[in-house]
């Protein structure tokens, strides 16, 4: 059911078992015919670590979606798609959709190292240009996605839009950079959520000094308006509890 | 015969004990007390109590059966109108409804109608609820969006009329606000589950994890079903819109209560969802949700739990019983006090709230006296956690995604008194139509909508049958 409706930019909420937490994960791919949704996640907390231990054929208690507003797909012209780490996963369907809408796509993918670089081939097949950066230089440019983005801005005649998904700090750096050149920039936010359907208000983010709810107003917002510092602060709310939960349940 | 002027008391857990646990506060009547209380009813001819009941229960009748000791018959009378009596017997504002107009109020306290309803519901549940009689199917199919009090009532009533009913619920559990909002100590979740089981026994199917507007559209439901009811409730919490409101340690009441009630964060780490509150908690607002939040904070271990409210005690919207319970448990009420900003430490953790004293002026458009700030009256209060409980707006998903649906100013769905929207076959009721109100009003709306849907489906069928006949004749 979720696969039938899924669109680029949307997310799902899942829960592993009766006692589990509801966590949001952005959709990395979908197959309407097979009825499947692909999610790619990093093992950062108890739920994702447990999710990592499941095998093909295992089931989880709950899976609801697709949630959030889909990406606005249209012909912008030249679009730079910036993905960092596990953020590359949700970027993939957006790259594909934007390419199919006739955009000229420049993809910039960043990862810690070559091994952790996701979906390079898939994204390349829908990109007109692709650039890789790694923190350790094991592939492509050694450094940050923003270095490459700066070069692109310097070299290209015109960039109509930048789409950035990755760690909050990466999206902040990208948005700060494009603001200087007044390039429209969208970012996909990942605040802590509980219900994900516009009820609890836990995922509130400050956008242009207004309180917005990532689950129903987002997850994509104008990167120049987002208060990234507040998002980072609110995403640290339960770090200690998460750590304790992992230790107690002996999830590694 | 003289009538006892006061209600029979309902035994309760001692405040000192109960703030250490999440168990229900009142224990309920035993059989003897229930019979004695039922005998206080005058069985008056004009039955004002029934006028005050949003779900139209034949109140004097069920009370008469209790007085005679026939509890099964009493249960039958209640269940004929109300599929969720254990819920309404606990959370209804009786004092404003049935009990508010009880004839013996002229000489003393009204009959404890709420307590009697609760007694019967609990009696029946403990004894094992009888399977309802199967009703002949009409062949009509109805879809209900949201398994909260409005949706469940509407579903139950439609099933009793013989329609096939499917409920689509976005969460992993049924009950809506009964599950995520109202705390265990006021409405045990086992009771909600038992009431939902009864609705299912009536033939209602509930599908979870279906977010209508996203997983499936309202239009698709209108195509597949003969009538659709929207009971998606109040969603998006309102905030104070003051500086520092997004600091770590500030929750909306919805987030706070959902974590604790539905996700069972009070049992963390046995359950995965965390909550943390520190020593001093301040809840802003003075409605039932605020009382629930402040009392929950005590049970999570808060040493001090404040209610901070900008008007005076007269204007507090919460039920007297909730306020009384809160006071007994040691909630500190700071009235005529309005927050103006939150202060955090260098890590963004909430540390303090700055408030200003208020005085009451002339009545405003709500009829309540308008609070006016008193200059130079700022006060800084140390707090670790803030809970914002100043109301919420209707859930945005269906108003946002259903094209052509008439929406009112606050984002609620426009309906007539029977829940009809501007779209044929689409009905709505409860908080999504009225804005945040009470469980029983939502149940009443679900009930009226069920009748209107029944009428709609029957007349639609009649028309289709007639047009079929005409077609035959035309050949």
Whether A96 shows a pLDDT value over 90: the answer reads: yes
Q: How far apart are CA B383 and CA B354, in angstroms?
A: 10
Q: Is B255 on the interface with A (CB under 8 A)?
A: yes
> CB pairs below 8 Å between A and B: how many?
123
Question: Would you say how long chain A is, in residues?
Answer: 252
CB contact under 8 A, A195 and B180: yes
Residue pLDDT, tens place only, A18-57: 999 999 999 999 999 999 999 888 888 888 888 888 889 8
CA atoms within 13 A on the CB side of A112: 5
Mean of pLDDT values over A138-166: 91
Q: How far apart are CA B401 and CA B426, in angstroms?
A: 14
pLDDT of residue A245: 83
Q: Is B235 on the interface with A (CB under 8 A)?
A: yes
Query: Which backbone phi and psi does B36 adopt, to 5 degrees?
Result: -60, -45
CB contact under 8 A, A198 and B235: yes
Let me know: does B325 contact B215? Beta carbons within 8 Å. no
Q: How far apart are CA B335 and CA B345, in angstroms?
A: 26
Task: Tell me which chain B residues have a C-beta less than 8 angstroms from the C-beta of A251.
Answer: none
Outline where DSSP puts E strands in B346-418. Answer: 350-363, 369-373, 379-382, 385-388, 392-394
Task: Tell me which chain B residues have a C-beta less than 8 angstroms from the C-beta of A216.
Answer: 236, 396-397, 400
Mean per-residue pLDDT pooled into runs of 10, chain B (475 residues): 85 94 95 96 93 92 97 95 93 92 93 96 89 87 97 96 96 94 95 94 95 95 97 91 94 95 90 92 97 97 97 93 95 97 94 96 87 95 97 90 91 94 96 90 94 94 71 54
Q: How far apart are CA B456 and CA B420, in angstroms?
A: 10
pLDDT of residue B460: 85
Q: Is A201 on the interface with B (CB under 8 A)?
A: yes
Let me know: does B331 contact B298? Beta carbons within 8 Å. yes
What are the tokens at B300? 């999570």
Q: Say whether B185 sits in a helix, a strand or coil.
A: coil
Nearest CB to A245: which of B211, B248, B272? Answer: B272
pLDDT of residue A178: 96
Q: Is A21 on the interface with B (CB under 8 A)?
A: yes
What are the tokens at A176? 């700060």
Q: How far apart are CA B192 and CA B179, in angstroms?
A: 7
Task: Tell me which chain A residues have a C-beta less than 8 angstroms from the C-beta of B347.
Answer: 233
Decide the pairing of beta strands A104-111 and A78-84.
Answer: parallel
Orientation angle between helical segments B113-127 and B31-38, nearest 10 degrees: 140
pLDDT of residue B97: 92
**How close is the nearest chain A Cα to the Cα of B124, in Å?**
28
pLDDT of residue A250: 66
**How close is the nearest chain A Cα to the Cα of B73, in Å?**
38
Q: Is A151 on the interface with B (CB under 8 A)?
A: no
Let me know: does B349 contact B355? Beta carbons within 8 Å. no
Q: Tell me the β-bridge partners of A29.
A: A38
Q: How far apart are CA A57 and CA A49, in angstroms?
A: 17
Please write down the long-range contacts of B77-83, taking CB distance under 8 Å and 24 or more positions apart.
B78/B117, B78/B120, B78/B121, B79/B124, B81/B55, B81/B56, B81/B57, B81/B447, B82/B55, B82/B57, B82/B153, B82/B443, B83/B152, B83/B153, B83/B156, B83/B157, B83/B195, B83/B198, B83/B199, B83/B202
Q: Is A236 on the interface with B (CB under 8 A)?
A: yes
Let me know: does B192 contact B186? Beta carbons within 8 Å. no
pLDDT of residue B468: 65
Q: Within a 10 A sphere around the Cβ of B293, how many other Cβ atoms? A: 30
What are the tokens at B86? 């254990």
Whether A10 shows a pLDDT value over 70: the answer reads: yes
Task: Tell me which chain A residues have a C-beta less than 8 angstroms from the C-beta of B171.
Answer: 64, 195, 197
Please write down the long-range contacts of B96-102, taking CB distance under 8 Å and 24 or more positions apart.
B96/B52, B97/B52, B97/B53, B97/B54, B97/B440, B98/B49, B98/B50, B98/B52, B98/B53, B98/B59, B99/B49, B99/B52, B100/B52, B101/B48, B101/B49, B101/B51, B101/B52, B102/B48, B102/B49
Q: Tell me the β-bridge partners of B216.
A: B212
**How close is the nearest chain A Cα to the Cα of B94, in Å?**
27
What are the tokens at B237? 């919490």
Decide the pairing of beta strands A23-31 and A36-39.
Answer: antiparallel
Q: How far apart are CA B174 and CA B192, in angstroms?
A: 8
User: CA-CA-CA-CA torsion for B312, B433, A64, B272, nearest 10 degrees?
Assistant: 20
Write down the pTM of the prediction. Answer: 0.92
- Containing H/E element for B167? strand B164-168
Task: Tell me which chain B residues have a C-beta less than 8 angstroms from the C-beta of A231.
Answer: none
Q: Is B333 on the interface with A (CB under 8 A)?
A: no
Task: Tell me which chain A residues have a C-beta less than 8 angstroms from the C-beta of B345.
Answer: none
- Containing H/E element for B257? helix B253-257
CA atoms within 13 A on the CB side of A63: 13
Q: How far apart are CA B312 and CA B335, in angstroms?
A: 5
Q: Is B245 on the interface with A (CB under 8 A)?
A: yes
Give the percent of chain A with pLDDT over 90: 71
Let me know: does B148 contact B175? Beta carbons within 8 Å. yes
CB contact under 8 A, A199 and B235: yes
Nearest CB to A245: which of B214, B246, B269? Answer: B269
Query: Which backbone phi and psi does B171 adopt, to 5 degrees?
Result: -85, 180
Residue pLDDT, tens place only, A73-91: 999 999 999 999 999 999 9
pLDDT of residue A179: 95
Q: How far apart are CA B263 and CA B189, in angstroms?
A: 12
């Amino acid at each position: 059911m979720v696969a039938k409706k899924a669109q680029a930019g949307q997310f799902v909420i899942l829960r592993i078992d009766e006692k589990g937490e509801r966590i949001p994960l952005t959709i990395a791919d979908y197959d309407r015919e097979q009825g499947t949704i692909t999610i790619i996640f990093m093992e950062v907390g108890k739920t994702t670590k447990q999710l990592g231990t499941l095998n093909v054929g295992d089931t989880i208690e709950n899976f609801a979606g697709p949630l959030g507003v889909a990406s606005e797909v249209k012909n912008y012209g030249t679009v730079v798609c910036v993905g960092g780490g596990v953020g590359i996963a949700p970027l993939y369907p957006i790259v594909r959709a934007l390419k199919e809408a006739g955009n000229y796509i420049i993809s910039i993918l960043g990862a810690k190292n070559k091994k952790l670089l996701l979906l390079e081939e898939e994204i390349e097949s829908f990109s007109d240009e692709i650039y890789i950066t790694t923190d350790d230089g094991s592939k492509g440019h050694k450094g940050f996605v923003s270095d490459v983005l700066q070069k692109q801005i310097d070299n290209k005649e015109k960039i109509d839009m930048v789409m950035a998904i990755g760690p909050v700090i990466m999206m902040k750096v990208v948005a700060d950079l494009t603001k200087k050149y007044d390039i429209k920039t969208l970012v996909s936010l990942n605040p802590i959520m509980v219900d994900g359907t516009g009820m609890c208000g836990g995922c509130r983010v400050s956008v242009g000094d207004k309180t917005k709810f990532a689950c129903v107003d987002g997850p994509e917002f104008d990167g120049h308006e987002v208060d990234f510092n507040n998002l980072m602060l609110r995403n640290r709310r339960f770090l200690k509890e998460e750590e304790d939960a992992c230790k107690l349940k002996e999830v590694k | 015969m003289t009538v006892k002027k006061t209600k029979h008391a309902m035994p309760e857990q001692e405040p000192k004990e109960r703030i250490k646990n999440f168990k229900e506060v009142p224990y309920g009547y035993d059989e003897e007390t229930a019979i004695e209380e039922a005998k206080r009813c005058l069985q008056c001819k004009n039955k004002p109590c029934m006028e005050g009941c949003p779900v139209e229960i034949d109140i004097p009748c069920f009370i008469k059966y209790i007085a005679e000791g026939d509890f099964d018959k009493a249960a039958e009378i209640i269940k004929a109108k109300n599929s969720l009596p254990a819920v309404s017997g606990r959370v209804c504002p009786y004092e404003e409804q049935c009990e508010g107009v009880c004839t013996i109020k002229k000489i003393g306290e009204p009959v404890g109608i709420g307590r009697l309803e609760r007694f019967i519901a609990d009696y029946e549940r403990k004894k094992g609820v009888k399977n309802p009689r199967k009703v002949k199917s009409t062949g009509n199919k109805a879809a209900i969006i949201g398994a909260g009090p409005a949706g469940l009532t509407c579903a139950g009533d439609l099933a009793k009329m013989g329609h096939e009913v499917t409920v689509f619920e976005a969460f992993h559990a049924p009950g809506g606000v009964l599950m995520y909002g109202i705390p265990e100590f006021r409405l045990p979740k086992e009771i909600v589950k038992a009431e939902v089981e009864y609705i299912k026994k009536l033939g209602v199917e509930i599908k979870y994890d279906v977010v209508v507007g996203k997983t499936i559209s309202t239009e698709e439901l209108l195509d597949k079903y003969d009538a659709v009811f929207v009971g998606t409730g109040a969603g998006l919490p309102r905030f104070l819109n003051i500086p520092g409101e997004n600091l770590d340690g500030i929750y909306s009441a919805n987030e706070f209560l959902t974590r604790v009630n539905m996700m069972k964060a009070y049992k963390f780490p046995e359950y995965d969802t965390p909550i943390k509150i520190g020593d001093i908690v301040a809840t802003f607002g003075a409605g039932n949700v605020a009382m629930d939040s402040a009392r929950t904070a005590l049970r999570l271990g808060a040493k001090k739990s404040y209610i901070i409210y900008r008007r005076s005690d007269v204007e507090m919207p919460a039920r007297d019983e909730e306020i009384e319970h809160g006071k007994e448990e040691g909630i500190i009420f700071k009235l005529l006090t309005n927050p103006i900003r939150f202060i955090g430490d260098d890590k963004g953790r909430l540390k303090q709230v700055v408030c200003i004293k208020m005085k009451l002026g002339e009545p405003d458009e709500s009829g309540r006296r308008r609070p006016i700030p008193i200059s130079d009256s700022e006060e800084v209060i140390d707090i670790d956690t803030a809970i914002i409980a100043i109301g919420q707006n209707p859930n945005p998903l269906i108003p946002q995604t259903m094209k052509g649906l008439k929406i009112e100013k606050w984002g609620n769905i426009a309906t007539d008194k029977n829940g009809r929207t501007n779209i044929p076959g689409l009905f709505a009721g409860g908080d999504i139509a009225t804005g945040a109100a009470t469980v029983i009003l939502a149940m009443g709306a679900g009930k009226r909508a069920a009748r209107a849907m029944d009428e709609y489906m029957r007349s639609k069928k009649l028309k289709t049958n007639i047009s079929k006949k005409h077609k035959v004749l035309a050949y």
